[in-house]
A and B are shown apart, each in its own frame.
Chain A
Amino acid sequence: MSSNNEVPKFGLLTASTPAEAVSLLTQYGDQARIVSGGTDLLYTMKNGVTYKTPNYVVDISSLPLNYIKYDATDGLRIGATTPISAIATDPNIAQYYAVLSQAAATVAAPQIRNQATAAGDIIQDTWCWYLRNNYPCWQNGGNVCYGVLGDNRYYQSIFGGRLTFAVNPGDTPVAYFALNADVTVQGPNGTTNMPISQLLPGVAIVGGKVKENSLQHNEMVTEIHVPAPPANSVSSWYKVRARQSFDFALASAAAVLTMNGSTISAASLVLGGVDVAPHRATAAESYLVGQSLTTSTIQGAAAKAVEGATPLTTGTGNSFRVFLAQGAVSKALTLLQS
């Protein structure tokens, strides 16, 4: 399994444009994978995780994709290789997209945030310990989800799954969902633009492989675009972890509310760490519209947000995370109570 605790030998390929990176991926096929920050890929390569140990690595960290641009009309544009720490400390993001700024600030630890990148946080693989320790699960070329019958307390969905039940681990993607972001994807035939919910559709089968993003093997995310925030909108983030820092979410909530005085005129509410993709709480969203934020409506929305949850009852079971998700929603909305 593990090879001396070192990264196995690999060939380094560098590209000077996204198109060139994609053409290298096309040329080397399954033998090659992209590395940007490296905090996801290099870790799993050290653990010898079969499907993630490529012979060639295409390093895109030197591409000119490290930028954050804000414009009042166009909104926010974040380059794929921008470090998470830059998102967490950008003054415009803090002012106009508080939920994203706060979510970025809760990603892992300072050193990881300095290295891990914007696109990487979206398309990283699940941190389910079965996958990361090279169990032959669905996402590792096998045909079983070990979490279902095993220890599913931390990394398995409470909203069901398909083949795999492992949760999407990212924090910033939850904020991007709440902010209705879209992404630019470079493929062999140029770039396409898609809503983030299309990039993270839940369980996807791409090229015969079970994945949790819809990227083809020779595609890469180049930019994330967040529309300009509606006037009078407020947003907040709350993340529940087993320890207060340097941990994945047991449950998180991203809330974006548009206010008309004290009345909510539009609501966007997304749960993280509890489903195979960031989970939009539609029932809670419609419940909130027309209401104002009171203790009672917050409790009501939190209850609606976990309606329809189907926590696993096999293995260890993970129903406790339904309550944590409910609590996360309640906390996030309470932060917006003025």
Chain B
Amino acid sequence: MGEKDSTAKQPHSEESESTPLDSKMNRRTFLKASTISAGVIGLGGIALSTGNSTTVVQNPTENLPATSNSDPFASQTVTLNINGKSYEVSVEPRDMLNNVLRDDLGLIGTKRPCNRGECGGCTVLIDGVAYMSCTYPAYRAAGHSITTVEGYNVPSSTESQILNALQLAWVQEDGGQCSGCQPGQIMSATALLLSNPNPTLDEIKAGMSGNLCRCGNYDGIIASIQLAAQNLQGGSA
């Protein structure tokens, strides 16, 4: 799954032009480097700040950022709340949330296996609801609470608590084989347990039906979810 190269994508090129970094450096490496360095703001047009933003909006598409129809191609600076942290990032209309997470913010836990909304490997939660990030326009996620597979350690977040329990259960029950689909599976399982803490086998199958596992390790995945559900309910079977 190719990384976007800073030179391949014109609209962001002004970001790299203003930096002295090696032009061969891809955007992810560059952004990692810039995030670690002290003067984050202004370096890559991306600012990182911490803080728990827990805005919950019923309809994830209700507050599209106001765009100017006079310059429809313009990139806009949006604030994405990811795993309890707030990120400001410049997105152009065609950027999918997956591209922004992986290529702009270096959050590569979210995978991009098929990039067509056909496999579920890129699943993330937006306001607690599962979406395929490869087909979800990044601008629509502005202002909403996004949870990725990295979000297992967010204080006082139910999602995070479920995610953590699932990851532990995944290790215990061998939920992953080649593990290419694993982050997506775990995120769909999080959405499932969030809305249904004690699912039946059929409910697990239905809830997980948007995630394909090429290894065919569905039994391990189901066992992991069952164990996590049990553990979250205080170990009572």
Question: Which residues of A are interface residues toward B (Cβ below 8 A)?
Answer: 4-14, 24, 38-39, 42-43, 46-47, 56-57, 59, 61-62, 66, 81, 108-112, 114-115, 244-246
Contacts and interface: CB of A to CB of B under 8 A. Distances in A.
A7 B96 contact: yes
Contacts of A10: 72-73, 93-94
B210 A246 contact: yes
B135 A5 contact: no
Contacts, number: 104
A245 B2 contact: no
B131 interface: yes
A43 B210 contact: no
B72 A56 contact: yes
Contact of B67 (A9, A12, A39, A244): A12
Contacts of B129: 114
A12 B78 CA distance: 15
Given A81-B61, A109-B209, 18 more contacts: A5-B2, A5-B115, A6-B4, A6-B94, A9-B11, A38-B135, A42-B137, A56-B72, A61-B61, A61-B64, A62-B62, A109-B210, A110-B209, A112-B132, A112-B210, A245-B209, A246-B210, A246-B212
Nearest to A57: B93
B64 A11 contact: no
Contact of B69 (A6, A24, A47, A111): A24
B190 interface: no
B206 interface: yes
Contacts of A110: 130, 188, 191, 206-207, 209-210
A14 B209 contact: no
Contacts of B99: 6
B146 to A, nearest CB: 14
Contacts of B96: 6-7, 42
A12 B132 contact: no
B123 interface: yes
B222 to A, nearest CB: 14
A114 B131 contact: yes
B85 interface: no
A108 B117 CA distance: 10
A14 B74 CA distance: 13
A11 B120 contact: no
Contact of A13 (B69, B131, B132, B209): B69
B123 to A, nearest CB: 6
A59 B131 contact: no
B233 interface: no
Contacts of B131: 111, 114-115
Contacts of B72: 10-13, 56
Given A39-B135, A56-B72, A46 B116 contact: yes
B136 interface: yes
B50 interface: no
Contacts of B174: none
A9 B210 contact: no
A62 B63 contact: yes
